[in-house]
C-alpha cells in the first residue's frame, strides 16, 4: 500500500480527529512515567520513549475487568454478564516487540474456547505500530526474529524520520484510519523513502552493537522439556529471586489471571485480574499448590516462555525480547541471565 507521511506538527490534530470518532490509546507521560492511556486534550503524548513501563496488552487484556454480577432478590438469583466491548478504538504507537506480544496473546485467548472479552476488543481495535529508531541496551527482540524497524501484524505502521512520520496502511482497518486522517497525510516522495531506508539501516547498525546482540536460543524451544526441566542450574539460579512478580506485570506476553468475587452489598461482582506464577498462592486449590517451592515457581516462568509455549504453539516463544524484565527486576534475574546461565553450564563454565 502507498507510503504516506505526516508532519510532527500535525500529530496533535491527528489525535483530536481520531478521538472525535473513537477512543484513542497511546503513550502518555504522567508523573514522569510513560504508559499507554486514553488521550485527551491535556495529555502529554510521549512517542519518543522507547518502552512504556508496562506493555500495551492492557488494551486487549486489562489488568482487572468485571465478568458478571450476581444479585439475590426474594430468593431469586439473577446473573448479569458484563457487556462485551462494542466501541471502536485505536491503539497508537505500539512497538514491534509489544506487537508480537499481542500475537502471543492471540494464541492463548483466540484458541478454543475463545475468550469473548478479549476477542471483542481485538475485533474493535485498530493497531498503529511505530518502528524503533534507537533500541536500548536491554533490547534483544532480534533473538526472537523480530525486526524493530518493520513491525509485523499492525493495521498501520509509522516510522519516525526527521520532522515527519512515514505512514503505511497494512490492512482494511488501516485504510479506514488513513481515510480518517485525510488531508493531514501527504504522499511520500522518493527522498522520503530514501531517508526511511537510511533510518532503518542506522537502527540495525545500533542493534548489532547492543550487549545482547549475540544472544542465542540454541537449546531452547519445542521438545526441550526433559532436558531443561531436570537441569541442576535451577537449584542455584533461583536463589536471588524475591518472588515480587514485577517481571510478570511488565511482560507483554504473561497471560495468567485469577478470578475473584467481591461483595458489593447489593450482590456479588465477579472479576478477573492479572496473576503471577511467581506467587506462592498461584494455582492454589483445595488440596494445596502443585508448586510448593520458589525454585519450582521460578523454573515455571522461564520454562513456559522458552519451552512449554513453543512446544504447544508451533515453535513460537512467549518472550519477545522487549527487555522490560532486564530493566525492572530488582534482583537482575531476568530471562537473559537464565539463557546465559544454561549456555555457560552446557559449555562447562562455572562463572
The pLDDT tens digits for 227-285 are 999 999 999 999 999 989 999 999 999 999 999 998 988 889 999 999 988 887 777 66
Average pLDDT on 112-119 reads 97
- With vertex at residue 49, the alpha carbon angle to CA 94 and CA 167, rounded to the nearest 5 degrees, is 45
Q: What pLDDT sits at residue 286?
A: 61
Q: What pLDDT sits at residue 72?
A: 85
Whether 97 and 322 have beta carbons less than 8 Å apart is answered as yes
- List the grid coordinates of 224: 526441550
**For residue 26, what is the DSSP state?**
E
Q: What pLDDT sits at residue 280?
A: 79
Average pLDDT on 122-143 reads 96
- List the grid coordinates of 207: 542493534
Q: How far apart are CA 19 and CA 28, in angstroms?
A: 15
Q: What pLDDT sits at residue 281?
A: 77
Structure confidence by residue, pLDDT tens digits, 46-68: 999 999 999 999 999 999 999 99
Q: What pLDDT sits at residue 160?
A: 96
Residues of the chain above pLDDT 90, percent: 87
Average pLDDT on 130-154 reads 96
Q: How far apart are CA 76 and CA 86, in angstroms?
A: 30
Q: What pLDDT sits at residue 346?
A: 84
Q: What pLDDT sits at residue 97?
A: 97
- List the grid coordinates of 276: 503471577
Q: What pLDDT sits at residue 265?
A: 83
Whether 297 and 243 have beta carbons less than 8 Å apart is answered as yes
* pLDDT score of 289 more than 80: no
Q: What pLDDT sits at residue 288?
A: 62
Q: What pLDDT sits at residue 287?
A: 65
Q: What pLDDT sits at residue 99?
A: 98
> To the nearest whole number, what is the mean pLDDT of the chain?
94
| pLDDT tier, 1 (very low <50, low <70, confident <90, very high otherwise) | confident
- Residue 251's φ and ψ, nearest 5 degrees, are -75, 135
pTM of the predicted protein model: 0.93
Structure confidence by residue, pLDDT tens digits, 209-229: 999 999 999 999 999 999 999
Residues 6 or more apart in contact with residue 327 via CB below 8 angstroms: 51, 138
Average pLDDT on 145-159 reads 96
Residues of the chain above pLDDT 70, percent: 97
Q: What pLDDT sits at residue 292?
A: 76
Q: In 200-232, which positions are buried (b, 16+ CB within 10 angstroms) versus exposed (e)? A: beebeebbeebebeebebeebbbebeeebeeee
| Helix and strand element counts for the chain (H, E) | 12, 12
Q: What pLDDT sits at residue 272?
A: 95
* pLDDT score of 350 more than 70: no
Amino acid at each position: 500500500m502507498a507510503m504516506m507521511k505526516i508532519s510532527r506538527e500535525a500529530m496533535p490534530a491527528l489525535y483530536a480527529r481520531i478521538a472525535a470518532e473513537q477512543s484513542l490509546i497511546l503513550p502518555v507521560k504522567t508523573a514522569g512515567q510513560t504508559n499507554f492511556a486514553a488521550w485527551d486534550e491535556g495529555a502529554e503524548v510521549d512517542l519518543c520513549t522507547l518502552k512504556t513501563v508496562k506493555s500495551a496488552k492492557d488494551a486487549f487484556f486489562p489488568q482487572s475487568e468485571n465478568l458478571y454480577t450476581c444479585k439475590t432478590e426474594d430468593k431469586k438469583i439473577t446473573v448479569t454478564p458484563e457487556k462485551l466491548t462494542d466501541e471502536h478504538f485505536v491503539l497508537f504507537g505500539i512497538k514491534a516487540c509489544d506487537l508480537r506480544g499481542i500475537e502471543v496473546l492471540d494464541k492463548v485467548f483466540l484458541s478454543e474456547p475463545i475468550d469473548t472479552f478479549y476477542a471483542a476488543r481485538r475485533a474493535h481495535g485498530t493497531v498503529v505500530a511505530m518502528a524503533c529508531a534507537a533500541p536500548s541496551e536491554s533490547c534483544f527482540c532480534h533473538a526472537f526474529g523480530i525486526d524493530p524497524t518493520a513491525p509485523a501484524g499492525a493495521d498501520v505502521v509509522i516510522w519516525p524520520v526527521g520532522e515527519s512520520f512515514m505512514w503505511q496502511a497494512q490492512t482494511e482497518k488501516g485504510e479506514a484510519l488513513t481515510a480518517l486522517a485525510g488531508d493531514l497525510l501527504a504522499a511520500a516522495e522518493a527522498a522520503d523513502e530514501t531517508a526511511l531506508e537510511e533510518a532503518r539501516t542506522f537502527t540495525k547498525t545500533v542493534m548489532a552493537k547492543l550487549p545482547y546482540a549475540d544472544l542465542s536460543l540454541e537449546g531452547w524451544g519445542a521438545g526441550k522439556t526433559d532436558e531443561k526441566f531436570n537441569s541442576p542450574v535451577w537449584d542455584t539460579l533461583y536463589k536471588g529471586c524475591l518472588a515480587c512478580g514485577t517481571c510478570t506485570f511488565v511482560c507483554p506476553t504473561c497471560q495468567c489471571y485469577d478470578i475473584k468475587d467481591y461483595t458489593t452489598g447489593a450482590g456479588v461482582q465477579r472479576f478477573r485480574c492479572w496473576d503471577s506464577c511467581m506467587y506462592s498462592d498461584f494455582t492454589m486449590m483445595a488440596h494445596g499448590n502443585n508448586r510448593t517451592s520458589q525454585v519450582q515457581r521460578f523454573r515455571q516462568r522461564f520454562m513456559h516462555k522458552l519451552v512449554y509455549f513453543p512446544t504447544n504453539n508451533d515453535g513460537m516463544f512467549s518472550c519477545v525480547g522487549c527487555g522490560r524484565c532486564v530493566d525492572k527486576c530488582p534482583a537482575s534475574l531476568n530471562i537473559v541471565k537464565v539463557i546465559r546461565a544454561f549456555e555457560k553450564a552446557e559449555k562447562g563454565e562455572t562463572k
